Amino acid sequence: MIYGFDNDKYLKIQSEHIKERIAKFGNKLYLELGGKLFDDHHASRVLPGFQPDIKLRMLSQLRDHAEIVIVISALDIEKNKVRQDLGITYDMDVLRLRNEFQQRGFMVSSVVITHYNGQISADSFRSRLERMGITTYYHYTIEGYPNNVGLIASDEGFGNNDYIVTTRPLVIVTAPGPGSGKMAVCLSQLYNEHKRGIEAGYAKFETFPVWNLPLKHPVNIAYEAATADLNDVNMIDPFHLEAYGKTAINYNRDIEIFPVLNALFEGIYGENPYKSPTDMGVNMVGFCISDDEVCCDASKNEIIRRYYTALNRLALGDGSDSELNKIALLFKQAKIDVSYRRPVKAAKDRAALSGKPCSAIELADGTIITAESGELLGPSAALILNTIKHLAGIDHSIKLIPQQMIEPIQHTKLNYLRSRNPRLHTDEVLVALSVLSTHDENCRRALEKLPELNGCQVHCTVMLGEVDHKIFKKLGVGLTCEPVFK
């Protein structure tokens, strides 16, 4: 991988900035965490070198002074909302997050169920949490939220919510996904802390959009592509421009809600400590980009990747034309089309010649390698074999896996496992290589080249199965597929 982001610098200046914000508010800060604290693969794709768990590692430097509150909406519990990237429901993800945080030495003090209005499923989940010894609170639906400021900032609004008992200077408020009510939980706590004579503060830790990059910078455009289903739009923060005469980038929801937040802060404290929604953020990512050209290229590839993802979802009946059209519009802003992604043209060109499903990969040095589907291997498995042979300097004519070994695997798939596809998937090829590597030097050398696929880009002319998607993801490969069924 060619790096464009400085992790060490980020670890240093981001933690220092959060410490400064804690001190600013009398040593009590509620930090709303937007996006993913770990497994942030979008950030690692658009900022090559950004480690998916770097935010968690950064906050680990503060963990002796921090506690975590996990938020989940009763509405999401009721409809069994699923995290698409993990395939688990939000309520199950609350337990997963708690376990992950605790394994890393963080104190998880409680769970808050928001938008509560007597839902039986929420009551059941709370009972389950409490049987596990997890302190749980209810925050209720407030009529007219967020615009009815008079009711919200009153004892009948925020004052009616359960008061969350916290003991540490930094309270990190996170959730399985968007729309959980994290901001409302933070503001409710500010109101209730104020009633108890505690002057707490609020800040927002969200990686994208990057406030100190230009509006049409590819990194920020890639964020719009990632949130096309939410219809988020990056904008110049007008409040920041008016207050400081400087351009800063935020997104429409934060800008639209700021007048309401301003009124809420004034209702709680008498004044707002922030002059703009950008002021509320603590994100320092933009200061840690070490190679802008690398990040621009990666972001343009990510926009195209999001476009193909939307195309595939639409083909499977799980997408929308509006999402697809939004990303197509972003192509114009980024001044690209799908041909910018070099493996796309290479895979399509080989498919046009062979008439078979084909795939292509672009390596870190710009080399393009292609493969096609055959009787023994699918296009993704064949591509991995071709690629690691190239990287290991093994002649293309050499067969790493002999046909007499592949045929028994196919026999098992077809006759015992009742598969309709006799071709080997990527995981099956890698297992076969691993078995052979104990006595075959070429197989061993080829396997040792797998880490060099990290950060490479792949395109396939047909939609791949779940197994192949997972293998490419584990290898750190960016994958796109044409919306064509095998």
Higher-pLDDT residue of 27, 28: 28
What is the average pLDDT across 156-177? Answer: 95
| Any domain includes 1 | no
Q: Tens of pLDDT along 206-247? A: 999 999 999 999 999 999 999 888 788 999 999 999 999 999
CA-based end-to-end distance of the chain: 31
330 and 225 Cβ atoms separated by less than 8 Å: yes
Give the pLDDT score at 26: 81
Give the pLDDT score at 142: 93
Cα–Cα distance for residue pair 102/277, rounded to 1 Å: 32
Q: 252-269 and 182-195 helices cross at what angle (nearest 10)?
A: 10
| Any domain includes 457 | yes
Cα–Cα distance for residue pair 439/9, rounded to 1 Å: 44
Give the pLDDT score at 146: 85
| Any domain includes 299 | no
Give the pLDDT score at 56: 87
Whether residues 169 and 281 share a domain: the answer is yes
Whether residues 448 and 365 share a domain: the answer is yes
Q: Tens of pLDDT along 269-311? A: 888 999 999 999 999 999 999 999 999 999 999 999 999 999 9
CATH number at residue 447: 3.40.140.40
Q: Which residues of 217-254 are buried (b: 16+ CB within 10 A; e: fewer)?
A: bbbbbbbbbbbbeeebebbebebbeeeeeeebbbbebb
Whether residues 263 and 178 share a domain: the answer is yes
What size, in residues, is the chain?
A: 486
Give the pLDDT score at 34: 82
Whether residues 219 and 346 share a domain: the answer is no
Q: Tens of pLDDT along 245-280? A: 999 999 998 898 898 889 888 888 888 999 999 999
Please say if the pLDDT value at position 36 is more than 80: no
**Of 288, 321, 350, which one is at a domain's C-terminal end?**
288
Whether residues 283 and 411 share a domain: the answer is no
Whether residues 270 and 365 share a domain: the answer is no
Give the pLDDT score at 70: 97
Q: Tens of pLDDT along 189-200? A: 999 999 999 989
Determine the distance from the C-alpha atom of residue 224 to the mean position of all C-alpha atoms in its chain, rounded to a whole number: 13
The region that residue 366 occupies, defined by phi over 0 for left and psi between -120 and 50 for alpha, beta otherwise, is: left
Confidence bin at 177 (pLDDT 50/70/90): confident
| Any domain includes 329 | no
Q: 426-436 and 379-392 helices cross at what angle (nearest 10)?
A: 40
**Of 248, 269, 288, which one is at a domain's C-terminal end?**
288
What is the average pLDDT across 435-463? Answer: 96
What is the number of domains present in the chain? Answer: 2
Q: Tens of pLDDT along 346-373? A: 999 999 999 999 999 999 999 999 999 9
Q: Is 273 helix (H, G, I), strand (E, B) or coil?
A: coil
Confidence bin at 419 (pLDDT 50/70/90): confident
Q: Is 267 helix (H, G, I), strand (E, B) or coil?
A: helix
Confidence bin at 129 (pLDDT 50/70/90): very high
| Any domain includes 316 | no
Question: Of 268, 121, 103, 139, which is closest to residue 202 (Cα–Cα)?
Answer: 268
Please give the sequence-ordered ranges of beta strands (E in DSSP) within 324-474, or none if there are none.
358-362, 368-372, 457-460
| Any domain includes 32 | yes
> Which pTM was predicted?
0.88
CATH number at residue 262: 3.10.630.10
Whether residues 143 and 246 share a domain: the answer is yes
Min mean pLDDT across 13-27, 132-146, 214-228, 440-454 is at 13-27
The average confidence (pLDDT) of the chain is 93
Range of the domain at 361: 341-481
| Any domain includes 327 | no
| Any domain includes 112 | yes
Question: Of 85, 90, 87, 89, which is closest to residue 73 (Cα–Cα)?
Answer: 90
Confidence bin at 87 (pLDDT 50/70/90): confident
